[in-house]
Amino acid sequence: MRLADLETAVGAVLEAVDDAYCVDLARRLVRTPSVYRPDDPGANESAVAALVAAELRALSLDVRVEEAAPGRPNVVGDWTGEGAGPLLILEGHSDVVTEGDSAAWSVPPFGGIVSDGRLYGRGAADMKGGVAAAIAAVRAIREAGVGLPGRLRVAVVADEEGMMLGIKSFIRNGWAKDACGAIICEPEANDVCLVQKGALRAIARFRGKMAHGAMPKSGVNPIPASAVFVQQIQALERRYLMRHGAHPLLGEPSVTPTVVRAGDLVQLNVIPQDATVGVDVRTIPGQDHSEIRRDLDEAVAAAASGIPACRGALEVIEERPWTETPRDAAIVGAVERACRRVQGRPPRHRGVPGATDGTFLHAWGGVPIVTIGPGDVTIPHQIDEFVRVGDLVEAARIFAAAACYCLGGAPHDLR
């Protein structure tokens, strides 16, 4: 589109954003609990997925509902513009973490109460607010009837807070194919995030031989091996920090022992057979995950070798690469231009400390991602979670304008 036409179209779309609709939808989403509890067949994302699917159908989107796992559906809704053009994904997750102790909340965690310009409730920020803003953005584009080319795909997937089965299934089913970019609508205070830490979770297991504590030589104690392993990984952390330093937006890489388990406190006279150490590694751009795996393997082997007849093994249970979106990706220019237009100032940048669905869209799907959405960065998973109504409706405008700039082919702003 001609730039002047595109800016006019963006103006019409921004006018068409319906704040009341956006807030009402966010409230309805919060009131539909979607905590996944494996032991409770009714506690999953299916009710909220049904709500999202109905909402997208009401907007005449082409909607598919697919189970990522039993009772855990993904919702994919496509809006098709006028003529061929890029495909942009607006992505969010439907699950929320547990509310914890309801009595500790000052509001009902699933009440969707709006008070003092804030919507309260579990998932208000992480990330039913972002999902509502994305849907409100597509609704505004549709209502404005501005004749954009290309396609918008709203993806609301399950299990982000767990093993990310939803986004993995979405990618495997081909939904990320040919996307020019994705906006991950996570709570980042409506700041632009182009970098994200990676993660690697591993379990080191040391096996010895049970014995009586009075006759330690008759057994093989795996505990000293696990202690040496903990020291080894602390040394690894220092090495990574020396080599890579701190990232300006993401901070330092880390290698953290998070679980140590061996023996039984009521059996202090027993040398246990097994000792286990859980490790949570967080990486920054430039680190090589395959090298980290090798380093951890070597640390296990070295720790076990210090105890005759002790065996050690490392199991990597999840690997989430760090991501760094190139600044010249079309989606970056589109989102930054949208921020300037909606926020009336240059966009602020930050980095995402944890993994998101965007990790896999980027790493497995090869889709350039920008993470931006309403809600304070530290509020997710807390008691009295909230999102400011002002941030919510600002996000809807940013998403709507970014979608227009992305589909309409706006050139990059000069910075």
Show the tokens assigned to 156. 């609301």
Q: Shortest distance, CB of residue 45 to Zn ion, whole angstroms?
A: 13
- The strand ranges marked E within 231-307 are 254-262, 270-271, 274-283
Q: Is residue 170 a contact partner of residue 68, using CB atoms and an 8 Å limit? A: yes
Q: Shortest distance, CB of residue 369 to Zn ion, whole angstroms?
A: 14
Q: Which is nearer to Zn ion, 150 or 321 (CB)?
A: 321
Q: Which is nearer to Zn ion, 170 or 229 (CB)?
A: 170
Q: Which is nearer to Zn ion, 85 or 198 (CB)?
A: 198
Contact region with Zn ion (CB under 5 A), list: 40-48, 120-128, 322-330, 335-343: 120-128
Q: Is residue 132 a contact partner of residue 122, using CB atoms and an 8 Å limit? A: no
Q: Which is nearer to Zn ion, 169 or 359 (CB)?
A: 359
> Could you give the string, one character per residue 370-389, with x where binding to Zn ion holds by CB under 5 A and - elsewhere?
--------------------
Q: Which is nearer to Zn ion, 185 or 202 (CB)?
A: 185
Q: Is residue 384 a contact partner of residue 124, using CB atoms and an 8 Å limit? A: no
- From residue 213, give the alpha-carbon distance in Å to each of 217, 269, 271: 9, 5, 6
Residue 132's identity, in one-letter code, is A
Contact region with Zn ion (CB under 5 A), list: 60-68, 74-82, 123-131, 134-142: 123-131
> Could you give the string, one character per residue 150-189, with x where binding to Zn ion holds by CB under 5 A and - elsewhere?
------------------------------------x---
Distance between first and last Cα of the chain: 22
Instruction: Kindly state whether residue 133 participates in binding Zn ion, applying the rule CB under 5 A.
Output: no
Using alpha carbons only, what angle is made at residue 154 by residues 149 and 155, rounded to the nearest 5 degrees?
140
Give dist(CA 44, CA 127) in Å, integer: 15
Q: Which of 8, 2, 48, 1 is nearest to 25 (CA)?
A: 48
> Could you give the string, one character per residue 71-110, with x where binding to Zn ion holds by CB under 5 A and - elsewhere?
----------------------------------------
Number of chain residues interacting with Zn ion (CB under 5 A): 3
Burial of 173 (0-12, 13-18, 19+ CB in 10 A): middle
Q: Shortest distance, CB of residue 373 to Zn ion, whole angstroms?
A: 9
Give dist(CA 337, CA 406) in Å, integer: 10
Q: Is residue 133 a contact partner of residue 74, using CB atoms and an 8 Å limit? A: no
Among 10, 26, 90, 127, binds Zn ion (CB under 5 A): 127
Q: Which is nearer to Zn ion, 13 or 157 (CB)?
A: 157
Contact region with Zn ion (CB under 5 A), list: 70-78, 126-134, 266-274, 276-284: 126-134
Q: Which is nearer to Zn ion, 295 or 385 (CB)?
A: 385
Among 126, 295, 357, 391, binds Zn ion (CB under 5 A): 126
State the Rg of the chain over Cα.
24
Which residues make up the interface to Zn ion (CB under 5 A)?
126-127, 186
